[in-house]
Amino acid sequence: ILTSAECIEALKKLLGIDVDFITLTKIWDSAINIPCTTVSGYKNGMLYISVQTSSAQMEINYRKTQIIKIINQYLASDKIKKIKVSIGK
């Protein structure tokens, strides 16, 4: 039988929600700030972004290299290698 803390930790791991995810969300909201976008996940160097509009998707795709560089500067590491964008999630 698992404790409630162990269950929460297992759920956070399964969903990809950890300190890195929370930090990435804050960085995205403050430094990148592209309207109609949200961080939907992070795993193995891949940052997953959900967008509501095709124009937001185009902007991210156009600025991918710059966005990765900005986020990695905030993190003081090269954790982000790629960005995957999906519409409507």
Q: pTM score, two decimals?
A: 0.79
Q: Is the pLDDT of residue 15 over 80?
A: no
- Band the pLDDT of 1: cuts 50, 70, 90: confident
Burial profile 29-58: b = 16 or more Cβ within 10 angstroms, e = fewer: eeebebeebebbbbeeeebbbbbeeeebbe
- Give pLDDT tens digits for 28-79: 999 998 999 999 988 889 999 999 999 999 999 999 999 999 999 998 999 9
As beta bridge partners, residue 42 has 47
Predicted pLDDT at 89: 56
**Count of C-beta atoms within a 10 Å radius of residue 62:** 10
The Cα–Cα gap between 73 and 68 comes to 9
DSSP state at residue 42: E
Predicted pLDDT at 4: 87
